[in-house]
Structure 1
């Protein structure tokens, strides 16, 4: 698979090129661009299959690139990179066809590599769809139905589905992580095979119904009513099928299901849109974990307005953590969560990312994705909120107690020295010579009392000073780096991004 990297930060491009196993994963980098105009030239020239695209760039931003790609019919898959508080822009990018997104401060190579591999697998699946149909393999119908969800109608007429009063039903298993624990690793295929066998038997007498498994915990059922003209009768039939499947799976396998149902549609060409509607309906289970069935509701205009308010809360929470105003952070966190429960304007995946981003800011990137197995078992908003509140409280209490801690005379003197001499080249040896103690003793005592490394603390002081200087346009960025004690602008940019979550020039644009 051919991949193009587009980001105006050289360090991000270098990081992506060096961290991901490109060749081993069957991928190659066909170019890189630092702005939107250069990106469009390379897209047209080198025809990448996938693009890693920054959302904020000079000349043309990521949204403009996506819009132009859509206008001229370029079908390359796009993964968006964004700053933590670009949520409104990210949603616009997803509407323009982006496949996924990652926040720069919290992204890691494993997640990006996984997203690229998923795109690669989808491409290979679509590429072989026509051959599978011609060869009439045992799984040809599954291939046709999965391809139809991605707007490929080739072969769909060979299924039992006919145009007229059609629906897409998506369903998943409740408490899936707990259900799969019933099976050993060697018997992992038993559950999906059992579900498929039960569905085959239940739906065998239906004239115009098909089903296919899409993911580990996502199944699709397609229903058409070419001979039934009444929409009311079609809708009633869909509800009968939902009840038949859910009650049977509960009876035979002891699992609970939740369904999302699309709006009614009439032609094969509308299949992809209907699947998106069913998915949007199913995602409401995150806020209503007890409900077994959700119907699609068109709320696009309301959602646009809601996302603006969501972005406001995200920025406020982020600033509260940056400025150590924890009461303000807690207030905005509570208001954001209440707003989500009222509006249901963010899906489960996006809410996870916001919580993880906030935790990332509290932990300086350490232990960012720990307890991943526990998180997999959390399926509803209230449980997720409780989990992260416990983590937030733990981290903030540690911060506050550390801030109020009484330090030994030596450590207080070292802190005062750093506050005055942060511009200079401070080393453990120079501090040892100045305070007449061993360098190892300073390192050990500082870590013990301050709960962080000496140089981590020095960098925090330098970055706080840099943030003030960046607000003054009289200083160029390399001058700011020198004024706070960095010998290299590149090193300054790396450290600044680690502590602030964005590049120095982005911070300057945001704050001035």
Structure 2
């Protein structure tokens, strides 16, 4: 029962409110009344009523003083002020002190008093429920975070996670992994991706609820969700296809989805999740919108040589001859061979893509072509495109398109009319790229005056001899670093004075250290 205390120095107010209202019938207990603030405070300390209805003008301790005392002592009482028409300013002061509402006691009927108190009670109950829900939601969020950290971390044993915090039936549950096939237009940065994934999470919850299945949805990565479902229903096998269809229909986003094996007990979630997560590798070969059911872990090959690697030597020869049809045919053959290897890990194919980019880089150096795809900014974008390739078809198309552009640009470059002396100098530079090349050495090799050669070089190429040589060496260094060659080895291989000098030059031309550049690419190919 909710306790109510009436505080007023007029006896008629007590008699009227106690006799005219059946408080018990409406869930209230009316305490013995108080005639002033001091009596009310004493009763409030003992009985701790939920509501105090108090007059303002009273002897010994008035209503304002009572409100302040209740708040100072942190008593759990909510105060309604009984006011007269001329008490407006005082009522405002009472509200500032913490009163939750006021009642005009001279005009209100008993039922009006009861109505106000009941309304306040309902609001307080609602507020308590919201507070409780907020606490539960916060706790639920913390448990989800702990579970996610366990799933993507190195620990095998699960500790400190309360299974009862989740709505799924852990006695019979199954994972569904959802992966974005493409990044929506304009959403390449993390904030937008998080927004898309959040929309996807909410939609997945709604879709699964329509199937009358309990679920929990987790954000695993910027492009991946994990859904845990209670699997005691007959229609769970259809869920990946339903999710794929409804997501595309509602938010126009293509996803791949896999249902993992049924498991019992929250401690067995991680092995089941790792099975469903194989969709990330499967879709690389099967293409966007891949939907499947997986019952056991697939063992993707990550340490075997690809047949395509053996075909790279012919690719170099045809690329040097600038034969577009032959180069494209070889690329198709390389990827055809790759597709015949069952359970080849996508990272192995991406590594092959990096090897092919390295061939373009080496051939461009041979031609003396400052290939735009290997400029300071574009090079990183091109390598990133290979590393981030989500599907083998897209990777093959990317490399084929680049091959066309490369051959076209190099062909145009070779048709440029440079003087015989400059062509000789360029040929010398490319043939001695692993040495410490100087203007004097090059001039001697082509039988020219160093000053004259320097001026001629700058006029025809638009840059100094030293800049041309350094940029060429840096492009070669990028390729060697991307292939996991150590910094000092690259420095020695390209004829720099020492590794410290090489590192300074590399950072000047690229904006990053050589070691950082190397680490960035190597970590994607472990």
Taking structure 1 as the reference length, the TM-score comes to: 0.50
Rg: which structure is higher?
2
Structure with more relative contact order (C-alpha pairs < 8 Å, separation 6 or more): 1
